[in-house]
Amino acid sequence: MFAIMLSFTITAQSHYPGQHSGKLVIPDKTQMKAYSFDLQDIQLLDSPFKENMMRESTWILSITTKQLLHSFRTTAGLYTGKEGGYMDMKKLGGWESLDCDLRGQTTGHILSALSLLYATTGYNIYKLKADSLVKGLAEVQQALHQDGYLSAFPQGLIDRNIAGQSVWAPWYTLHKIFAGLIDQYLNCDNRQALEIVNKMASWAYEKLKPLLQEQRTVMLRNEFGGMNDVFYNLYAITGNLHDKWLAEFFYQNEMLDPLKEQKDNLDKKHANTFIPKLIGLTRDYEIEGNVENMKIARFFWNTVVDHHSYCTGSNSDKEKFFKPDNESAHLTGYTCESCNVYNMLKLTRHLFCAEPNEKYADYYEKALYNHILGQQDPESGMIAYFLPMLPGAHKVYSTPDSSFWCCVGTGFENQAKYAEAIYYHTDKALYVNLFIPSVLTWKEKAITVRQDTNFPDDATTTLTILTSTKVTMPLYIRYPSWATSGAKIKVDGKILKVIQKPGSYITIDRKWKNNDKIEITYPMFLRLVQSDNDSISAIAYGPVVLAGVMGTEGMEKPAPFSNPKLYNDYYTYDYHVPADLVHQLKLGKKNLSNSIKQIAGTQRLTFKTINEGIILQPLFSIHHQRYVVYWNLK
């Protein structure tokens, strides 16, 4: 089966330094330099981010608990005799089909997504749905009666993995369920979820403890998602040394050891199998103080971001890394798997907490705007697997109930956690990393910060401090590396002299009183984002990658990807790009504004090239249209 030859990974939501402290019995040994807020502390205000989140929520709520438990109940033999309404139930297709090795992964992702939605909105509907899923999974675990094993597929798939036989990625799927249940405990306080996951961990320990070193090596060659991350997280919750043993068991020497030598071993490696392994290492650094593992994670991140990424912060061609600095040779229809970005953003969050360098926030912004935000179809709420860089390609979206690719699963989570990385804090200071309309409540400081902005359509953001007493708090405002034409800061209408440079933080340290306002403007301008090839470039405006809007000629309707029998055809999809599609531009490279003009009065950022008359808009906003990101420059 074609699909078996592929492999995919994701990790679900882990926790970050500063979060859920009341629920962890093992405190982090490493003193972090910045901490995350709990999602409960941040509320999104109206913006495209919130619109995406609510669309995703509608989709998630439309998939019934019975559908999400169906394959689990089938495997546990819980369907006997007549099942009443169950017979009429529309069964989930795609990667959730009863004959797919990965079935059950979506249920794990949805548990995580529901926990994030509940945390960020406080709406009880998400908790109620998750509660019924958790209850159903507890019944399945009991019915399976296999020492805590819980899955939608039989344990034989794990045995095949251990024996080195052909199987897709059973641990990868189990990881989603472990992570989803842990998120239910952490974000929704669901104790039953923790009981289930502890039994699963007990099963895993007994299953893996007898393995010989050779068996372990063979097993770990198959994709296993973020199993190390999830067991570190569980260890922090339980203090059970078996959980720590399991986390360390999933350290894959073959892939990770070369990174200790600062060797770029990424070429031809399946990207999303690789990235989650590093997230687990950052958790080991946080919990156990393992400095060596942090060095590996940092080296990996720098290597991926500086040498294996496109202008959008995405990576991979047909899911694999390729030679460093070679993206111009990989402008294909199958670039930039979404799960990879999901995992890179998680890794970025851990690295920022350890070392709050602006470059991490820069990357987060780049990948969030240029990849994650635009992967959801605003008409249908469906999610794209790849972000094709082939000039003239277009986004290919999932179906509501017959795709369930890995990127649909991570998509459920991505769209639910836009609030997670806007703000960070130290004991005293507040970091403002992203310019997204939101309200932060910092309980320990008894302070509320409201952020109003239309960024990136508007280059200004306004922070308002709400406090009942005066409070001393240094404010670290991110000064993006792209903002090379300077910064304008006003505090209560008075201009503040900025001495810092782009790629750093502007510090405002003062005693704040109620209703103090900070107005921040980073003027944006057009710039080229050079590829490894001098004559191939993308165009950006501020942090936003602009793409040519290239029409719909030759696009098939209805698109073949809506055919449930072809649920994997995103992987071989023929884009039928018209032979005469323009992807050359004549630009005055020194001053782009001589060859590209902004069109005033449009709803969103819109530009036009003077010579070719091509309309450019933010890549994230282009849907159901062909586009060009990388141009041949004459």
CA neighbours within 13 Å on the CB side: how many for 77?
A: 6
And the tokens for 247? 């986390």
Closest to 259 (Cα-Cα) out of 293, 306, 235, 284: 293
- Residue 460's DSSP bridge partners are 521
Closer residue to Zn ion (CB): 337 or 519: 337
Instruction: Find where tokens 């074609």 sit.
Output: 2
- How far apart are the C-alpha atoms of 321 and 511, rounded to whole Å? 49
Could you tell me the smallest distance in angstroms from the CB atom of residue 181 to Zn ion?
A: 21
Question: Looking at this protein, which amino acid is placed at residue 83?
Answer: E
- Residue 441's DSSP bridge partners are 448
According to CB under 5 A, which residues from 83 to 142 bind Zn ion?
none
Could you tell me the smallest distance in angstroms from the CB atom of residue 28 to Zn ion?
A: 30
According to CB under 5 A, which residues from 396 to 415 bind Zn ion?
406-407
And the tokens for 616? 């450019």
Could you tell me the smallest distance in angstroms from the CB atom of residue 48 to Zn ion?
A: 22
- Asked whether position 614 contacts Zn ion by CB under 5 A, the answer is no
Handedness of CA 164, 165, 167, 171 (dihedral sign): negative
Closest to 631 (Cα-Cα) out of 614, 313, 621: 614
Could you tell me the smallest distance in angstroms from the CB atom of residue 407 to Zn ion?
A: 4
Closer residue to Zn ion (CB): 406 or 544: 406
And the tokens for 33? 């330099």
Q: In degrees to the nearest 10, what's the CA dihedral of 5, 333, 530, 502?
A: -80
Closer residue to Zn ion (CB): 131 or 317: 317
Closer residue to Zn ion (CB): 286 or 337: 337
Closer residue to Zn ion (CB): 407 or 520: 407
Give the ranges where 266-419 is alpha helix by DSSP (H).
Answer: 271-288, 291-307, 338-354, 358-367, 406-414
Could you tell me the smallest distance in angstroms from the CB atom of residue 265 to Zn ion?
A: 22
And the tokens for 182? 């842990």
- Asked whether position 275 contacts Zn ion by CB under 5 A, the answer is no
- How far apart are the C-alpha atoms of 464 and 73, rounded to whole Å? 51
SS3 label, residue 448:
strand
Residue 74 backbone phi and psi in degrees, to 5: -65, -45
Closest to 308 (Cα-Cα) out of 107, 531, 145: 531
Could you tell me the smallest distance in angstroms from the CB atom of residue 371 to Zn ion?
A: 12
Q: What is the DSSP string of 483-543?
A: -TT--EEEETTEEE-----SSEEEEEEEEE-TT-EEEEE----EEEEE-SSTTEEEEEETT
Could you tell me the smallest distance in angstroms from the CB atom of residue 383 to Zn ion?
A: 9
Are 143 and 444 in contact by the 8 Å Cβ rule? The answer is no
- Map residues 471-500 to x or -, x wherever contact with Zn ion holds by CB under 5 A: ------------------------------
Closer residue to Zn ion (CB): 377 or 532: 377
35 Cβ neighbours under 8 A, 6+ residues apart: 16, 17, 18, 19, 353, 424, 425, 426
Residue 527 backbone phi and psi in degrees, to 5: -150, 155
Could you tell me the smallest distance in angstroms from the CB atom of residue 108 to Zn ion?
A: 14
Handedness of CA 162, 167, 168, 173 (dihedral sign): negative
Closer residue to Zn ion (CB): 44 or 339: 339
Could you tell me the smallest distance in angstroms from the CB atom of residue 409 to Zn ion?
A: 8
Closer residue to Zn ion (CB): 339 or 430: 339
Could you tell me the smallest distance in angstroms from the CB atom of residue 573 to Zn ion?
A: 15
According to CB under 5 A, which residues from 520 to 579 bind Zn ion?
none
Could you tell me the smallest distance in angstroms from the CB atom of residue 561 to Zn ion?
A: 15
Closer residue to Zn ion (CB): 227 or 339: 339
Could you tell me the smallest distance in angstroms from the CB atom of residue 403 to Zn ion?
A: 11
Closer residue to Zn ion (CB): 407 or 440: 407
Closer residue to Zn ion (CB): 407 or 422: 407
> Pairing relation of β-strands 471-479 and 430-432?
parallel
Closer residue to Zn ion (CB): 44 or 406: 406
Helices (H) and strands (E) in the chain, counts: 17, 21
- How far apart are the C-alpha atoms of 58 and 46, rounded to whole Å? 17
- Asked whether position 339 contacts Zn ion by CB under 5 A, the answer is yes
Closer residue to Zn ion (CB): 174 or 407: 407
Could you tell me the smallest distance in angstroms from the CB atom of residue 405 to Zn ion?
A: 6
For the stretch 559-566, contacts whose Cβ atoms lie closer than 8 Å and that sit 24 or more positions apart, written own/partner, are 559/396, 561/396, 561/397, 561/398, 561/399, 561/403, 562/399, 564/93, 564/94, 564/399, 564/402
Closer residue to Zn ion (CB): 408 or 614: 408
Closer residue to Zn ion (CB): 356 or 409: 409
According to CB under 5 A, which residues from 319 to 338 bind Zn ion?
337
Q: Which stretch of DSSP H or E encloses residue 4?
A: helix 2-5
Could you tell me the smallest distance in angstroms from the CB atom of residue 272 to Zn ion?
A: 6
Total number of residues binding Zn ion (CB under 5 A)? 4
Residue nearest to Zn ion (CB): 339
> Pairing relation of β-strands 544-549 and 460-467?
unpaired
Could you tell me the smallest distance in angstroms from the CB atom of residue 174 to Zn ion?
A: 17
Q: Where on the chain is the footprint of Zn ion (CB under 5 A)?
A: 337, 339, 406-407
